[in-house]
Structure 1
Amino acid sequence: MAAKLMKKTRLTLYCDGCVDFSIFEAKMNAMQWNSKVVVITGATSGIGEACAFRFGQEGAKIVITGRSQERLNASVEKLKAKNIDVLGVLADAGSKTDNERMVQEALQAFGRIDVLIANAGISMRALFEEMDLEVFEKVMDTNFWGTIYATKYCLPEILKNKGSIIGISSINGYRGTPARTAYTASKYAMNGFFESLRTEVMKKGVHVLVACPGFTASNIRNNALTADGSMQGESPRDEGSMMTSEEVADAIFKATVRKKRDLVLTGEGKLAVFLNKWIPGIMDGIVYNKMAKEKDSPFK
């Protein structure tokens, strides 16, 4: 109904030549999002927090999760300062019971769930031969199982409301990189899960988007786990030259509105996906050489 009204009004305003339709369209879009509830896991920094701001600024009610009460409170206050209706839930993405409780608290506060952004994730940087298996398991628990748990418990509401499920994956979900075996495995698993789920719900009005940012300026590399599970502490890359979290969030919002299937970001990311499809053997060498040039590379 809203789409028909917008189309009709677009024609009228164009003919009258006296009103900027973009203003009307923005208001209509805000009206659409005012009734929606968006759940975002791992949203106390980076892409998750940026998505909370982006969807919240459109009028959506926001539920964010995080493992640190202090950081969660800080993010909630920042969102409230922008007049965004937000609920913070202290939760570990890798915990089945925390995800179930997250959904219960969201429904208690807002009565519905329309969009899930499965964003919570951690990275790692260590050669597989040197890495403790507990590190591999922790990355899989957060990145993969965290996605599974959040999707499982949000799905009944999203099916009922014909909403969207957005998985924040990575270029690593298309192309593996050395010294990031656990991270790559978790993202490949995410991509496969969502491809299968998308096909299951395609006739039920549910939209599934897999967003794969390239290198993004965030704290994910600072918090990346090393071989023994300690945090890396410093990014090996030039964060200043990367896409910002806000730019990624804006692209994710637009892709959600347009109900896109896949979103691959940055020119380098798109090139990597394309080349890996057609010349995977050559890409092995290209990727090795690129990663070997990183600061403190494990290959040196």
Structure 2
Amino acid sequence: MDDFQGKRVIVTGGSDGIGKALVERFLEAGAYVATCGRSADKLYQLQVRHSNKFLHTMVVDVRKEEDCRRFIESAIREFGGVDVLVNNAGISMRALVQETELDTLRTVMDVNFWGTVYCTKFALDSIIANKGVIVGVSSIAGYRGLPGRSGYSASKFAVNGWLEALKTELLPSGVHVMWVCPGFTTSNIRNVALNKKGAPQGESPLEEGKLMSAEECAKQIVKAIGHRKRTLVMTFQGNETVWLNKLLPGLADKLVHKFFFKKGELVK
């Protein structure tokens, strides 16, 4: 899988951020790419930009099972099968548990977890037939619960566990299942992260200019897919958090709290 020339790749949530960078990297590598998103305008702009490449797009809300079915089936019709599925579509949140409305948690879980389940389930027969790769774009929040991101952490823990179970089931099949965990990456995900009322917060609490770029993130993900890595945890801070949480969870609690809170208020 080091060479993606002619490979049939599906990337969900490809109209922005890491997803868009993944789409463009796969296209540059000669792959046939199908992607989806909720913005028809952004998908149209992507299609125009790559009009000379094999790019198939569709407006999809991954919370909806039927949308996912239509998208996966259309990609399979268009390209004749699937070799790589990257479940990238996702949404974040930023609100304390005590203040968060339950619908906000449901929305995050529906997008991040059920979107991954739906698309994987509908693509699975074709991926098994082609001994392909299934990828979940997860998060450090899938290894360590983060304050202000309770629903996001829950959804990413669920994605990691579900994919690990699937990976184990498919061991004899030749299918590779993996999950990748970017650290804080420059993207629109924090601007559209849901607040306690379930509305986009409209701003980022982090210094975006100091974060890993979406393009660098995509480069690392595609390389990991090519090498069929089991997992990929990006950034020193991400690896430090994962290992500290395993070895010294009590200390991790204190350090994570210190990072996210200032004078008792959630600041990141």
2:34 match: 63
SS at match of 2:204: coil
Q: Distance in 1 between matches of 2:107 and 2:99?
A: 16
Displacement of 1:33 in angstroms is: 2.4
**Counterparts in 2 of 1:169 and 1:285: CA distance versus 1, 3 Å:** same
Report SS of the residue matched to 1:217.
coil
Deviates more, 1:105-114 or 1:198-207: 105-114
Alignment partners' CA distance in 2, 1:129 and 1:88: 39
SS at match of 2:63: coil
* Deviation, structure 1 residue 78: 2.3
1:290, distance to aligned residue in structure 2 (A): 0.4
1:47 has 2:18 as partner? yes
Once the two structures are superposed, residues 17-59 of structure 1 have per-residue CA deviations (whole angstroms, 9 ceiling, x without a partner) of xxxxxxxxxxxx6xx4233110010110111010001111111
* Matching of residues 4-19 of structure 1 within 5 Å: none
2:41 pairs with 1:73:
no
Q: How far is the alpha carbon of 1:297 from its aligned partner?
A: 4.6
Q: Deviations over 1:54-108 (max 9, x none)?
A: 111111000010011111111222233xx32100011111110011001111122
Looking at structure 1, the residues matched to 233 and 204 of structure 2 have their Cα atoms a distance apart, in angstroms, of: 22
Q: Which residue, 221, 225, 233 being the options, matches 1:264?
A: 233
Q: Distance in 2 between matches of 1:293 and 1:188?
A: 26
Letter of the 2:46 partner, please give it.
S
> Aligned residue for 1:187?
156
Aligned: 1:276 with 2:245:
yes
Q: Is the CA contact 2:73–2:122 (under 8 Å) kept in the aligned structure 1? A: no
**Structure 1 residues 299 and 243: CA distance shift in structure 2, 3 A:** closer
1:114 lines up with 2:83 in the alignment: yes
Moved over 6 A (4+): none
Counterpart CA distance in 2 for 1:55 and 1:238 is 28
Partner of 2:202: 233
Aligned pairs (5 A) from 1:22-171: 32-80=3-51, 83-171=52-140
Which residue is 1:202 aligned to? 171
Q: What secondary structure does 2:35 align onto?
A: strand
The more displaced of 117-126 and 104-113 is 104-113
Give me the whole-angstrom Cα distance separating, in 1, the residues matched to 2:40 and 2:110.
Answer: 20
Q: CA deviation at 1:298?
A: 3.4
CA 1:299/1:44 → structure 2, altered by over 3 Å: closer, same or farther?
A: closer
Q: Does 2:191 align with 1:222?
A: yes
Q: Distance in 1 between matches of 2:185 and 2:135?
A: 18
Alignment match, 1:11: none
- Point out the structure with max Rg over C-alpha: 1
The Cα RMSD (Å) is 1.7
Amino acid at match of 2:76: L
Alignment correspondent of 2:142? 173
In structure 1, stretches of 5+ residues that fail to align are 4-28
Partners of 1:165 and 1:65 lie apart in 2 by 17
For residue 169 of structure 1, report the CA deviation from its aligned partner: 0.0
SS of the residue aligned with 1:243? coil
Partner Cα separation in structure 2 for residue 299 and residue 38 of structure 1:
38
Cα distance in structure 2, aligned partners of 1:134 and 1:223: 16
Whole-angstrom distance in 1 between the partners of 2:211 and 2:170: 35
Between the aligned partners of 2:27 and 2:93, the Cα distance in structure 1 is 31
